[in-house]
Structures are given as structure tokens and as C-alpha cells.
Amino acid sequence: MTNIAELKSTVKVCMFDQYGTVVDMQGGLTKIVAPYLQSKGWSGSPNSFVTWWRRTHFEIGLPMLEILFVANHAFDCIGAKSAGMRTAFINLRQRPFGTPHQPDLNVSTMTGLADALV
């Protein structure tokens, strides 16, 4: 695990993997966007549209090392880490991280994350 003081001094933004970590973002966005897409005459799958949008529309304008990506799935942390971000794993299900590519911070709750960073 990374030194907390170092993490606090370099991270400028916490980016949350909302899908599964905070809320069911996919279902909510699909429900909201479906009538809009239909009104525009789009006949594709609203679920596929939301998946495409979530995967392709992210720009923050900061160096990757200044972003702390927060997730509760190891694969999300590994992906963010491979992109150059710092990572925090919120172990909501009390499972081992299961990879040698460890997160910078490993906590069991959102409160634990706040306590570690404040």
C-alpha cells in the first residue's frame, strides 16, 4: 500500500467507478435515455448505447497520477492502474484482491476511504 501522505499530496481528483461501487448506473441511464433515443428515431439498443457512452466519454484533463480511481472490483483497479492512475479498492464484499497488482489504498467502506484521505 502507498504511503497515505504521498497519496494525499499528489491526488487532485477521486474518480469513482459508480457502476457497482456506488449505484447501478447502467440500468438507470438506460431507463432515462431510452425514450430520448426513441424520440430521435434511433432503433438500436439503449443498453448498448449507454455501454458505448460510458466506455468512450471521459476526459478530465489531469495527469493520470493525479487521479485516484475508486472501485470495488479488482479488475477495475487493475485497468485504472495500467492506465497510470492511483487506485483505491473498497472491499465491500470482503474478498481478497487476488492479483499481484495491488491498489494504492485498500479499505472496507466509503467511510474508511474518507477517513484515510482526510
Q: What is the mean pLDDT of the chain?
A: 82
Cell of 107: 479499505
Q: How is domain 4-117 classified at the architecture level of CATH?
A: 3-Layer(aba) Sandwich (3.40)
Locate cell 477495475: which residue? 76
Q: How far apart are CA 69 and CA 77, in angstroms?
A: 7
* Residue 95 scores a pLDDT above 70: yes
pTM for this model (two decimals): 0.64
Q: How far apart are CA 86 and CA 105, in angstroms?
A: 9
Number of H helices, E strands in the chain: 6, 4
* Residue 20 scores a pLDDT above 60: no
* Residue 84 scores a pLDDT above 80: yes
Cell of 108: 472496507
Of 91, 16, 29, nearest to 60 by C-alpha is: 16
Q: 46: part of which helix (H) or strand (E)?
A: helix 46-56
* Residue 58 scores a pLDDT above 70: no
